[in-house]
């Protein structure tokens, strides 16, 4: 689990870019979060925030989405999710937030192979 806020100089992972951008990344995988924030600048993508929250025992994707919806530094929200506690709530939030900023959602585990990968990861 980790947090990356370049504007505030906060980073759980090593050697991440210090330049801040307009994209937020919320992930249940620390590896994905680290990879995208580290290599994003190679493609001109810089992050306002990156949040890796693991199995969501305390806070869920909807909690982070609610915060990022009103975050003035974030113009695009990207999410990598392996599991969702309340799918209806998440869908409502995404529909509402998409009116003001795009939400890009990558839901892992939809195929048989993906489901096995997610099960072994969590």
Mapped onto helix, strand or coil, the DSSP state of residue 19 is: coil
Structural domain count of the chain: 1
Distance CA 11, CA 54 (A): 16
pLDDT tier at 122 (50, 70, 90 boundaries)? Answer: low
Digit-coded pLDDT (tens) for 87-107: 999 999 999 999 999 999 998
CATH code for position 40: 3.40.50.261
Mean pLDDT, range 71-94, rounded to an integer: 94
The confidence score (pLDDT) of residue 114 equals 53
Residue 92 CA neighbour count, 13 Å, CB half: 7
Backbone angles phi, psi at 114, to 5 degrees: -65, -40
Residue 12 CA to residue 24 CA, distance in Å, equals 15
Stated pTM of the model: 0.86
Report pLDDT digits (tens) over 31-51.
Answer: 888 899 999 999 999 999 999
What is the residue range of 105's domain? Answer: 2-121
């Amino acid at each position: 689990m980790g947090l990356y806020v370049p504007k505030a100089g906060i980073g759980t992972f090593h050697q991440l870019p210090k330049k801040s951008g307009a994209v937020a990344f919320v992930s249940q995988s620390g590896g994905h979060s680290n990879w995208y924030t580290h290599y994003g600048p190679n493609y001109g993508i810089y992050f306002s925030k990156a949040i890796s929250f693991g199995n969501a025992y305390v806070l869920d994707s909807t909690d982070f989405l609610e915060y990022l919806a009103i975050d003035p530094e974030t113009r695009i929200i990207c999410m990598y999710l392996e599991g969702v506690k309340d799918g209806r709530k998440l869908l409502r939030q995404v529909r509402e937030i998409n009116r003001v900023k795009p939400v890009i959602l990558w839901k892992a585990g939809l195929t048989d192979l993906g489901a096995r990968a997610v099960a072994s990861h969590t």
